[in-house]
Structure 1
Amino acid sequence: MEIRQFYDEALAHASYAILSEGKIALVDPRRNPKQYLDFADEKGAEIVSVFETHPHADFVSSHKEWIEKYNLDVYINSQAGVSYQHKGIDHNEEVALGKVRIKALYTPGHSPDHNAYLLIDENGIDEVVFTGDSLFVGDVGRPDLREGAGNIKATRKDLAEMMFDTINTVYKELSDEVIVNPAHGPGSLCGKNMSPDRTSTIGKEKENNWAFQINDKAKFVDSFLDGQPFIPHYFPYDVELNRKGANAFDDAVSAVEVLSKGAVIPTDALIIDVRPENNFKRGHQEKAFNIQLGGESSKFETWLGSTIKPDEKFYLVASNEQEMRRAIERSAKIGYETNIIGATYHLPNELQKDEEVVVDDVKNNPETYNIIDVRNASEYATGAFFPNSKNIPLPELRKRLDEVKDDKPILVHCAGGYRSAVGSSIIESKTNQKVYDLSDAVEEFK
């Protein structure tokens, strides 16, 4: 038997392949199937099944493609109410894979239709539990993402109470030696207090995870609900998309129209420019938003889906063909490839240039700027970098633009520079006032 973890740094998402006797089962696979097919080729094995822990909110799964192109069995909790061909699997039901067995454990709390999957080895020993979004290393999956989404409607309080029961009647009953393989690691918005580790054991979680320490349900619920991070616009959309099943990855990506050189983007269009910040500031189309693609570990998907709503269509602008293709593929990871009207790496001749911030002037005369801090409210609560700043978290900025005063130049900052590039470009698109991005110079003001 072999287990391979596939980790997506950008979404802090872990998926798994379980290999036994030449047969492979996948757990919570991401949208692009290539890495799993490569693993099967490497091992000379056959992928035969997919196990979904629940309809995911933060990424698009490939289960529909595995059904339609590869004729696999897809297992998911029977309460999930999915519309694709599947096999419902409920608490304590088992599926054989080579010499091992995969046993469903009903683990509601993050969602009301959540399964974990317990791997039982050929000797009948509980070996690994794939916990999905119910149990993380150091935390448990937040209970506020499924209000108003999914087949079963439940309040966050209801789900928090379910999670208390899941911890105490399911996970505490497992042996301390059982390995914990969750669907997310640090940086995911599906939890608030995850450890840097990507795997653990039940014993370690019993000892170190806060959720195992509170024995009073009311106190557990209060602690659980407090301080959860923001919910990106795309999360409820992805729940429903995963319940239907998304189109095959390569087909979806190739369907995006690539604009020919000289094609004109309408002046009133929404434009997402994914180029590096410095390139964007040297020249960009008027009113474009600068959501930088960055490297494979950047949070492009998160900020695209937090800034742009699922029903908004946009044009995508990149530096070159390779960057454009990568941006389309990464948009598809959250189901936003269908939002792209057209993609291009050809810029028009008439471009808007941004003025560079003079850091010494900001240090000496901060009162001459309207300063907008686009960090999350929880970050701002730990301390403002400027006494006269106003906190408008980036996910809220577009709907709160009327709170940005334009009686003097506007200075935008975050904690490191990425979000301020997005925020300054959003504000710039709606004002004639000068807008400055403090970018990574913010380090000098912390």
Structure 2
Amino acid sequence: MIIQQFYDKGLAHGSYAVIRTGKMIVIDPARNPQPYYDFAAQHDADIVGVIETHPHADFVSSHLEIHETTGAVIYCSKLTGATYPHETFDDGDVIQLNDIKLKAINTPGHSPDSICILLVDEEGRETAVFTGDTLFVGDVGRPDLRENVGNITAKKEELARQMFQSTRQKLMTLPKNVVVYPAHGPGSLCGKNMSPELESTIGRELRENYALQLMDELEFVKTLTTDQPFMPKYFGRDVLLNKNGVPGFEDSITAVPRMEEGSALEADILIVDGRPKAQFRSGHLHGAINLQDGEKFETWLGSIIGPDEQFYLIAENDDKLDILIKKAAKIGYEQNIKGALLVPVNANEVSPDLDLDAFRANENDYTIVDVRNQAEVAAGKVFKNAVSIPLPELRERVSEIPADKPVIVHCAAGYRSAAGVSIVSAAINAVPVYDLGEVVTEMMKEVHG
């Protein structure tokens, strides 16, 4: 038996392949199915099944494409309300993979339709559990993503109560040596306290996971429904995309319009410029959002831009453009791209340079905008008079920023402030708008030690 994890750092997403004597099952596959095809070929295995633990909110799955390409059966809970061809997979259902078994366990909590998958090996031993977004290493899935979307909706308090029962009755009763394989790791927005490790055991989680410690249901619900991270704009749509299935990955990225040099851009369409900020600052189109290619590009793309908004995508060369289109496709945003292009010749708006000494000497001469998340601000401000607007809310709340003196935008390390300053600059023309950039890390040390 082979168990293989495929991990995408950008979305902190773990998917899995289980192989037994030439047959392979894929669990929670990412948008691009090619790694699973390659792994199956490497081990001379046929993909016979794909299991969806629930309709994911944070990425688009390739379950339908794998089915259409290989003939593999898609399995999911009947509660999903899936519109693609599938077999239901709920409590009591078993997939026989030669002499091993995959058993469905209904575990509502993160979503009403969540399942976990218990692996029973050829000796009849309960060996591993694929926990989807129910149980993570050090955490459990947030319960607030299905209040308004999906086949079944539920308030976060109701789902938190269901999570209490699912963990106590279904997972904590498993043998302590059962290996836990979750669908997400650190950096995912599907939880709030994930450990750096990408797998665990039931025994370790019983000892170390805050959500599995002794507490009553009321305390559990209160704990689970507070201090969850922000919810990106794209989450709701991805639940629906995964409920219905999406077109193939390669066909989708090939369908993105590539624009020739000199092509006119429509004035009312957003522009996302994925170049490094030094290049962006030296010349860009007015109103463009500088969302640099980086490990979390897709998360910030789907947090700043709504699921129904179109945008132009700019990169410095064709290779980078391909990378950014593929990253957009991971969250289903390739269909939002009005056109993809290299830097236009009229990208000549230049960003002003901050006089850091002048700022340090007279901070009160500037309006300071903090685009970090609420939890980061609550842990300690860098500048006591800063206007706090989280980056995902900045486009909608930019009018709250006073324009009577120069504006400085900061985050925690410089990535988000590059996007933030481009958003503010597009809205405020009366005064200069500066990016504090990486200097903020030094200033945070001065303030907080």
Is 2:337 aligned against 1:340? yes
Gaps of 5+ in 2: 445-449
State the AA in 2 paired with 1:259. Answer: M
Q: AA paired with 1:269?
A: I
2:100 maps to a residue whose letter is V
Range 276-285 or range 261-270, more displaced:
261-270
- Map 1:383-422 onto structure 2 (within 5 A): 383-422=380-419
Q: How do 1:175-324 and structure 2 match up within 5 A? A: 175-294=175-294, 298-324=295-321
Which amino acid letter does the alignment assign opposite residue 114 of structure 1? S
Whether contact under 8 Å (1:262, 1:346) holds in the other structure is no
**TM-score, normalisation: structure 2:** 0.98
Alignment partners' CA distance in 2, 1:413 and 1:319: 25
* Contact persistence 1:359–1:441 (CA under 8 A): no
Partner SS, residue 338 of structure 1 = helix
Kindly indicate whether residue 91 of structure 2 is the aligned counterpart of residue 96 of structure 1: no
Asked if structure 2 preserves the Cα contact closer than 8 Å seen for 1:145 and 1:236, the reply is: yes
TM-score norm. by structure 1 comes to 0.98
Q: Segments of 4+ in structure 1 off by > 6 A?
A: none
Aligned to 2:135: 135
Of 232-241 and 383-392, more deviation after overlay is shown by: 383-392
Counterpart Cα distance in 2 of 1:350 and 1:440:
25
Q: CA RMSD in A?
A: 0.9
2:377 equivalent to 1:367: no
Between the aligned partners of 2:347 and 2:175, the Cα distance in structure 1 is 65
Matching residue's letter, 2:44: G
Partner of 2:447: none
Q: Which residue of structure 2 aligns with residue 358 of structure 1?
A: 355
What CA distance in whole angstroms lies between the structure 1 residues aligned with 2:353 and 2:36? 45
Secondary structure (helix, strand or coil) at the match of 1:329 reads helix
Q: Structure 1, residues 310-340: CA drift from partner, whole Å, max 9, x if none?
A: 0000100000000001111100000000100
Cα gap change, 1:427/1:102 in structure 2, threshold over 3 Å: closer, same or farther?
same
Which amino acid in structure 2 is aligned with residue 83 of structure 1?
Answer: T
Does structure 1 residue 330 correspond to structure 2 residue 313?
no
Note the C-alpha offset of 1:350: 4.7
Partner of 2:172: 172
CA distance in 2, matches of 1:162, 1:309: 30
Q: Equivalent residue for 1:444?
A: 442
Deviations 1:410-441 (A, max 9, x none): 10000011110111101111110211011111
Answer whether contact 2:285 2:346 (CA < 8 A) is retained: no
Q: 1-side partners of 2:44 and 2:153: how far apart?
A: 43
Q: Determine the C-alpha separation between the residues in 2 that align with 1:98 and 1:284.
A: 58
Q: How does 1:107-122 map to 2 (within 5 A)?
A: 107-122=107-122
Contact 2:109–2:160 under 8 Å retained in 1: yes
Partner of 1:86: 86
Which secondary structure does the structure 2 equivalent of 1:113 belong to? coil
Aligned residues: 443
Q: Secondary structure at the match of 2:438?
A: helix
Does the 8 A contact of 1:214 with 1:220 survive in 2?
no
Structure 2 partner of 1:150: 150
Shift of 1:74: 0.4
Query: Sequence identity of aligned pairs in percent?
Result: 49
Point out where structure 1 has 5 or more consecutive residues left out of the alignment: none
Aligned partners of 1:143, 1:50: CA distance in 2, in Å? Answer: 25
Q: How far apart in 2 are the matches of 1:387 and 1:119? A: 53
Once residues 278 and 98 of structure 1 are traced to their aligned partners in structure 2, the CA distance between those partners, rounded to angstroms, is 56
